[in-house]
Amino acid sequence: MTPHTAAMAALRASMAELVLKKGMLTGITVCYGNAQHCASESIGMAREVLVESGGFEEAPIAIGKDSLYDIASLTKLFTLVAVLQLIHRGEIAFTDPVGRLDKRFQALRDCSLIDLMSYEAVLKTPERVDAQASVEAAKHQVFQTYRAQEEGSRLYSDMNALVLKYLVETVSGQAFQIYLQDRILAPLDMRETYVKVPQEKMGKLLDYNYEHHIICGRFNVLDRIIPGLPHDPKARRLGESGANLPGHAGLFSTAGDMCKLAMGLLSGALLPADMVNLIGCNRTGRMGDGYYRQYMGLICFAKSPVRRLSEVPSWMGERAFALSGYTGNHIAIDPDLGVFDLFLGNRCHNRLSLVEPPEAAASFGLSDDGSGEVLWPDGRRVKSSFQYVHYKDALLHTPVHDCLKATGWLETKGNR
């Protein structure tokens, strides 16, 4: 058995542990590569069940090469690239006040673009965007975004990328999705990335419906996440059924297209290396005397010294950056090692994804790691994806690193 064959076998075993044994995900595709090469492995189901005649019935569809994933917050990476392109072309600058770039954001007239992009600016709206009764009311809340006075320890937010989308439109003179098509998707030949999924592709979508929650002892099933609509509630409200792309979520893509994005960032096809190197530099994080502040780069997570709190895998360097999506996705890119890893999973469909308060999980029969099954009031046994986020390192990042080493792709830094 060659080192690469052994590494691939270990990765497949870890994926099987996550999907088949622990049952935390209905399915997952794991990708990795560098600027020139990529590889992928898939396991599990795009859909497990449907509700027919008032009850849950098995309706399995396996993940395939052309499966379409709701990439959720990984959409923010597209938004970031768009803004950095505008900066690189000299159309805007990091020091520009947000309210000068787009006069609709008057409450941000004293907030610099770099503060917004680095999460130094903690943004809030007067009312919840997703709670609004109409698209126009939701947009009104976005344009009322203001900089909160408190510093905050948890900095990550959808609002920063939401605001940036409108800046891209104002500065470029194009609708956001048209800008992405012209400047990102077309140059990388990403033909399977959509705001509105074509009717003929609907059968390729992963199903994120039937997410289960237990909140203060109440059992809830979310049954309105129809395939083709974003899982994120703000993206559903602002997205106008695919006519409008928000900056924080709302894109659907294949594993192959998302690999093209990562490879394009590593190869310099979208941005020069000096711009990519800026993304993962820690701009906010610090800790001491029991205090911890999130380590953030530009609209991405920077590497944190606290392993459990770091979205960047431990084997990546200090300029690496990462993003996770609620639906079960993750991407990490290291411009120094010249490699990436990408996970496209589904932790929502037919899974218990949330237990509040968290310490109640054991009382429902879940294991210490959050895995297991809960007996639902209708008699079904529902698998848990609760705490999935904390098992990516051992079960995914580590075997991916071994695969990258075995292929020799980690040795390509000096040849890029």
pLDDT confidence of residue 412: 47
- Residue 250 reports pLDDT greater than 80: yes
**Domain shared by 221 and 137, yes or no:** no
User: Contact at 8 Å (CB) between 87 and 342?
Assistant: no
User: Contact at 8 Å (CB) between 225 and 348?
Assistant: yes
Q: What's the CA gap between 156 and 150, in Å, rounded?
A: 14
Q: What mean pLDDT comes out for the span 185-189?
A: 98
In degrees and rounded to multiples of 5, residue 259 shows phi and psi of -65, -40
Q: What mean pLDDT comes out for the span 5-12?
A: 94
Q: Which domain holds residue 293?
A: 3-72+197-411
185, 216, 238 — which closes off a domain? Answer: 185
The reply to whether 382 falls in a domain is: yes
Give me the half-sphere count of Cα atoms (radius 13 Å) on the Cβ side of residue 339. 25
In degrees and rounded to multiples of 5, residue 341 shows phi and psi of -130, 150
Local confidence band at 284 (pLDDT 50, 70, 90 cut-offs) = very high
- Residue 411 reports pLDDT greater than 90: no
Task: Look up residue 301 and give its DSSP letter.
Answer: B
Q: What's the CA gap between 374 and 377, in Å, rounded?
A: 9
DSSP secondary structure letters along 54-81: TEEEEEEEE--TT-BEE-GGGHHHHHHH
Q: Model's pTM, two decimal places?
A: 0.96
- What letter represents residue 133's amino acid? A
The reply to whether 358 falls in a domain is: yes
Local confidence band at 309 (pLDDT 50, 70, 90 cut-offs) = confident
The reply to whether 152 falls in a domain is: yes
Task: Classify strands 38-52 and 55-62 as parallel, antiparallel or unpaired.
Answer: antiparallel
pLDDT confidence of residue 189: 98
The reply to whether 416 falls in a domain is: no
pLDDT confidence of residue 312: 96
